[in-house]
Amino acid sequence: DDLQNDFEVIQRQTLPHSIRYDIRLPEGKRANDLLNVCMRHSNILSFHETLPSMNEIFIEQVEHFNQQRHEKE
């Protein structure tokens, strides 16, 4: 398992004494899978799960719908 290959890194931010990652879990992966990968490479200072907003879900669904529509054409 590898952070870059198995998970979608949305943002990486270097801070004075740490590095912060915003990571999207792919379908079928759990937060524990991510933590297991990270703990093999570093110390975890904190972990916060962020759920998508209704707006993000709506945009994702519209993009998915449009993609399917274009594939049928």
pLDDT in tens, 13-24: 999 999 999 999
Query: How far is it, in rounded angstroms, from Cα 54 to Cα 69?
Result: 22
Average pLDDT for the chain = 90
| pLDDT exceeds cutoff 70 at 33 | yes
**Confidence (pLDDT) at 73:** 76
**Confidence (pLDDT) at 70:** 87
| pLDDT exceeds cutoff 60 at 1 | no
| pLDDT exceeds cutoff 60 at 72 | yes
38 with 3: CB under 8 angstroms? yes
Query: How far is it, in rounded angstroms, from Cα 67 to Cα 28?
Result: 22
Which pTM value belongs to this model?
A: 0.66
